Amino acid sequence: MNRIEKDVMGEIEVPADAYYGAFTQRAKINFQISGIKAHKEFLVALATIKKAAALANIELKQLDEKIGNAIIKAADEVIEGKFDSYFILDVYQAGAGTPFNMNCNEIIANRATELLGGKLGQYIVHPNNHVNMAQSTNDVIPTTTRIAILFLLKDLVAEARKLEWALRKKAEEFKQILKVGRTHWEDAVPITLGQEFESYAVSIAKDIKRMLEFSEELKELGIGGTAVGTGITTHPKFHETIVKKLNEWTKFDLKTTKNLIELTQNYNCFVSFSSALKMLAIDLVRIANNLSILNMGPKAGIAEIMLPDVEPGSSIMPGKINPSIPECVIMVGFDVMGRDKIVELAAQYGILELNVMCPVIAYNILQSMKILTSTLKMFREFCIDGIKADEERCQELLLKSTAVSTALNPYIGYQAVSKIVKEALKNNKSIKEVILKYRLIEEEDLNKILSPEEMTQPKEPDKELIFKIKNSGSYKRFVESL
C-alpha cells in the first residue's frame, strides 16, 4: 500500500506506513549507490539539532509551542532509535546532504503529526516550515558532522589510552632485556626491549593529544548561518540560543562564532581532525609491522618476541602461525589513510559560499573513527597483552652481533674496536670473546661496560677504568699491532 504525496516536482507514491516523505522517496530512487547508510551517531546528532532548534525557536517565540513540543518529542524518539529503519538513504547522495536533512525532517514531521492526532503524510507539522525552521542543510549537516565526531571521540580516546597503558606495562616488564637495535635493516647499538615498547606508548600518547587538540576546532558551530552563513530567516539570537541548547544536551562545550559565513565555506577543521586519525593509523601500522618483524620465525627469523597465537596461519602448511592481528591492524591503517585523502580532497572543494561535500567527509571520518576504535581494542586484547619476550634469544643475537662495539669506543678507541669487529666477523666469534682473548679488558669490567645501564642511556665513561685499560700491557701490545 502506498500513499500519494505532493511536492514542488509533483506527485509521488510513498509507502503508506513510511515515516519519511516525498523528498526522501525521490532521493532513494536517485541515489542507489553503495547500500551504505549513515552512521547511528550521525543520525543521533542530526535529531539532536532538530530538537535544539525547536527548543530555541519556542524560547524565541518563533514556533508555536504545541507544534514545537511535538517536534521535541518526535526528535527524542528518533534519538532513542525508534525510527532508524526509516533513515533509508545512501551515504553517497546529493551535495551538502539535503536528502539526509530532509529524511530527518520528514520523519520528525510525520511522527509529530501523529502525536497531534494526524495521519502520516498529513503534515500538521511541516518538514520545512516547522522542523527545519531557522535552518538550512548547509548549516545543519556540517554541525551534525561535528557533533557526531565528538560523540565517537570519547570511545576512541578511551581505547587509545588503554593501548598506551598496555604498551607501558610491557615496557616495564621488558625493561631489563637488552637486545640488538636495528637501523637500515642492519644491526645497530643495543637497546632494551622495554625501551622499544616505551617508545610505542609515547607515540600513542602523542596521537591522543593530537586528536583532542584538533577536536577543539570542531566545537565551533555554524548552526544558524542557514544557506550561506548570513543567518537569513533566523531570529538574531537564534545562533547563540541553539548552541546553548545543544550544550545542555551534549555537554561538549560547543561554541558560537562571529563569522558563520567562514564556517559555511571552510572545512579545514575536518581536514585537521582527519589528519590526526591518519597519524594514529600511521603509528599503528608502524608498531604492528615492527612487532611482526620481531616475532619473525619461529626458528628461521628474529623471534625476539612471541605474539599470541590466535588462529592457524595457513591452509596448506600445518602448524604455521601468522601475525594475524598485526596484519589486520595494518589493513585498517591503510584504510584510514585512504579516507583521510578523501577528506582532504572533499574539503578542497569549497566553491564560493559553500562546500557541498560534507556527506562524504562525514561518512569517512566517522568510519575511520569506528574502525580505529575497534582495532585499538583488538590490538590490545589479542596481541599486546599477550606478548612474551624470549630473553635468551635477545641475548644470543646481541652477543653474535657487532652492535655492542660502539660502547667500547671510549675505553679502547675506534681503531682497536674496528680490528676486534673485523676479527669477530671473520671467525664467527662474539665481540666479548675476542676482547677476552686479547685480555684487553677484564671480564668483570667488560660486563659492566656492556650492561643495559651503560649501553642504553647517556652515561659518562668511567675515567678510572679507561686509565686502567690503557695502561695495561695487553692493551699496549694490541695497539702496537694495529
Q: Rounded to an integer, what distance in angstroms lies between the CA atom of residue 355 and that of residue 358? A: 7
> Can you say whether residue 354 is alpha, beta or left, with left for phi > 0 and alpha for psi between -120 and 50 degrees?
beta
Catalytic site residues?
A: 314
C-alpha span between 193 and 176 (Å, rounded): 8
DSSP-based three-state secondary structure for 132 = coil
Burial class (CB in 10 A: 0-12, 13-18, 19+), 84: middle
Do 228 and 137 meet the contact criterion of CB atoms below 8 Å apart?
Answer: no
Burial class (CB in 10 A: 0-12, 13-18, 19+), 6: exposed
Q: What is the DSSP letter of 165?
A: H
Q: Are 24 and 106 in contact (CB under 8 A)?
A: yes
Cell 506527485 belongs to residue: 11
Per the DSSP assignment, residues forming a β-bridge with 32 are none
Are 430 and 404 in contact, with CB atoms under 8 Å apart? no
d(CA 181, CA 186): 8
Q: Report the interhelical angle of 137-173 vs 193-215 (nearest 10°).
A: 160
Residue with the three cell numbers 581536514: 271
